[in-house]
Structure 1
């Protein structure tokens, strides 16, 4: 996912948001489906990595495209957007609950029965179903939504005529007035000509060559232009590094935790284990909605206060206890931390 986020994030500045946005999700869905047919661990690991490569890029591009279309006064909606993360994991939990308890083999060391494709295909069905669902949605994204290039990206490229055309299209589609004209855009600055393969001369935020290390370096240098900006960039990177470490570990080991720390440390049945997993992710959907409202209303220090509350709220759930409902509550309380 890290490699995918870096690759697609940088590629989106070169080939545009539209293509990177559509291709990354489509690739992820295809590799998910192929992973379900893996004959061994090596092939499975390869295609899981490739699927993560696509989803890692799509993860950053979803927020980028969303923000670049949003007016600044509505950017609190980005926080609310996180509820779909919980919704997606809830659907994945339902797939696991439907397939894994019914189509999985037991431990060969205990049962003496070797796990084969015929008696242990529940996990394959999870991959097939998840990949197929994402594939359908990725096709709908291309054929129904028909995303246009974001106005912010077009402005950065010096493509003023396309900026005006895109904004006029959005205004017409949603019955909103838009009086912006190309002349008004050009009055804000001169748009120079472009040689084949070069950037437009008026766009000082880019290197001369579109596909070059200088282009990448120029983007990175902009993040450290001042001491305050460098500190902000470093803290954001550190925060996302820790989130990237903790969040996948939490989700990967949550089913193991539910199974081993279930009813009075006696474990849970596979069916209940995945039921609790799905319920935990279902409970994580309302919190981004509440957080979005808090950001919008600027209640309790706005975004900073929302972040503080979000981090501190799950802490009481880490008190020692063992009943099954506690396990569910703890998992649910930690889901959006």
Structure 2
């Protein structure tokens, strides 16, 4: 049915607004990396201890993924879509006013709990509303992920150097309470930008619930209503096959576009004849889904028709009570995991979750500490002479300029990934190739530190930015594609949670390794990325030519 509607104005709007969620996700993670050296100076935190800041953020990301993913499977995609960015922006503002390092870590945990649930849910929303032949656009969605990093790096370059302690504060030292508030201004700016994204997503466009989610939960009348609204928003440009799906007539008898609205082409009978389970399993014959158990689980967890459309204040309060009760029902969340370990899917589930965890560990060990690593490199390179001038911010400016170059280099990676996944390489070999080259780029970056070569530092970090973005773009596309719509939110949320757990551990390990050498974490990252490439290589399911 979704393919019958085609790709129109509604889908382009969803692409842009879900893209804002991906932008916010990476913008906040990049923000944490940018302010890390300034926070370390502000609160006099050691290298071994500063990792707690990033770990707090990733702990929040983990909890957010574990909670919001199952919620999206139980109560629909719209609830996390509407609220996750609000949570992030609110805690971002609170973090800007914190007087201590411990309170800052607590606020970053709250910030991460919002961001952590947003990205996997947005990916599921977009995937479930687009035609099969447009699935490569999910990879292109990662362009917004890269733009988030570019946005934060550009704002950091404008705000942090002039409002931070100078490279050499002179004999009088630096009064951090007055001279080192750039990190606070950056947090405030990013929070305001996130609130703007919230307004655009919730106030300027009414997103419809995912048709595949509704169909999976046997809400066929709601599916018809949603599809009619999408057709109407698209200007009635349904495909000829939509008429055939309802009337069984010759496709050549499709009425001309000037005959009026085509929303009548979507009927209850057409939807009923195309159940999600049968449609999915016809092209996923290797999956032995426990339909009876899964169907029973799904049915038992749904609200009845009176609570789905409450008309009184008491009914609305009852709906919120059910939602809050469901959010903390751990046993029901665990039951939702059972289909993921069906014999035909067990290997895929384990490998996907391993890939998310290992890649996140290797990537975070480099990315979170990139500004600090660049400061170390630049301090020994061409910016050293400028940095010794009292009151100068030249080294910091160079660091955030290089960070911006690194962020910009990642933008083409998503575009290249959207092309690569539909070539003979497919999803799996695109992941393997990009992950392997990312490891090579980190080896070159480590060598640039020893050679004190600024040019090699910029080139190697840019190559890593390009290939790592390509790598993540394909991973983000492959993960929701390979799982059934009934458990897609849970599967993606759990995969994201494994990545976030790795993100909690990585900064702590990196902080300890930095006490030994700045290059040791880089070589550990290389080993992890290549281990992830090995897991990608043995994935049993290629999703390039299958429907979702």
Q: TM-score, normalised by structure 2?
A: 0.56
Distance in structure 1 (CA, Å) of the matches to 2:228 and 2:355:
38
Aligned with 1:152 (options 187, 212, 216): 212
- Please give the alpha-carbon distance, in whole angstroms, between the structure 2 residues aligned to 1:95 and 1:120: 16
- The equivalent residue for 2:271 is 185
Q: Pairwise mapping of residues 300-315 of structure 1 onto structure 2 (< 5 A)?
A: 301-315=425-439
Q: Deviations over 1:202-244 (max 9, x none)?
A: 9535152453555323320010111x31010000000111122
1:132-143 matches, cutoff 5 A: 132-143=192-203
What is the match of residue 417 of structure 2?
291
Residues 140-196 of structure 1, C-alpha deviations (whole Å, 9 max, x = no match): 10011221111011112221111111111111211322522013334567xxxxxxx
**Partner of residue 247, structure 1:** 363
Which residue among 171, 185, 188 is the counterpart of 1:125? 185
Deviations 1:112-154 (A, max 9, x none): 4353432211001111111111111111100112211110111
Alignment match, 1:218: 335
Q: 1:215 to 1:158 in 2, by over 3 A?
A: farther
The structural deviation recorded for 1:111 is 4.8
Q: Please say if residues 260 and 267 of structure 1, whose CA atoms lie closer than 8 Å, have aligned partners that are also in contact.
A: no
Question: Superposition pairs for residues 71-110 of structure 1, below 5 Å?
Answer: 71-106=131-166
1:260 and 1:266 in contact (8 A); partners too: no
Distance 2:180 2:369 in 1: 21
Secondary structure class of the residue paired with 1:313: helix
Given the alignment, which residue of 11, 14, 30 partners 2:74? 14
> Shift of the alpha carbon at 1:274?
0.2
Residues 24 and 54, structure 1, Cα contact 8 Å, conserved in 2: yes
CA contact (8 A) 1:156 1:205 kept: no
Q: Secondary structure at the match of 1:233?
A: helix
What SS does structure 2 have at the residue aligned with 1:52?
helix
Deviation at 1:109? Answer: 9.2
Matched, 1:115 2:175: yes
- In 2, the alpha carbon distance for the partners of 1:65 and 1:129 equals 28
Cα distance in 2 for partners of 1:203, 1:229 equals 17
Q: Which residue of 1 aligns with 2:296?
A: 204
Higher relative contact order (Cα pairs below 8 Å, separated by 6+ residues): 2
User: In structure 1, how many angstroms separate the alpha carbons of the residues matched to 2:402 and 2:125?
Assistant: 34
Equivalent runs, 1:155-170 vs 2, <5 Å:
155-170=215-230
Unpaired segments ≥5 residues, structure 1:
190-201
Whole-angstrom distance in 2 between the partners of 1:237 and 1:98: 38
Residues 69, 121 of structure 2: 8 Å contact kept: yes
Instruction: Indicate the residue corresponding to 1:276 in structure 2.
Output: 402
- 1:305 and 1:139, CA in 2 relative to 1: closer, same or farther beyond 3 A? same
Contact 1:158 1:203 in 2 (8 A): no
Q: Are 1:2 and 1:53, in contact at CA under 8 Å, matched by a contact in 2? A: yes
The answer as to whether partners of 2:74 and 2:301 remain within 8 angstroms in 1 is no
Residue correspondences, number: 323
**Secondary structure class of the residue paired with 2:296:** coil
Any conservation in 1 of the 2:89–2:111 contact (CA below 8 Å)? Answer: yes
Taking the aligned partners of 1:11 and 1:110, their CA distance within structure 2 comes to 54
Mapped to 2, the partners of 1:164 and 1:56 lie a distance apart of: 32
Please name the residue that 1:194 is paired with. Answer: none
Aligned partners of 1:314 and 1:243: how far apart in 2? Answer: 11
Partner of 1:199: none
Closer, same or farther in 2 for the Cα pair 1:251/1:208, shift >3 Å?
same
5+ residue gaps, structure 2, are 1-60, 243-264, 276-293, 303-325, 385-394, 469-548
CA distance in 1, matches of 2:380, 2:330: 57
Across the aligned residues of Structure 1 and Structure 2, the Cα RMSD in angstroms comes to 2.4
Matched residue SS, 1:277: helix
Contact 2:421 2:430 survives alignment (8 Å): yes
CA contact (8 A) 1:151 1:167 kept: yes
For normalisation by structure 1, the TM-score amounts to 0.88
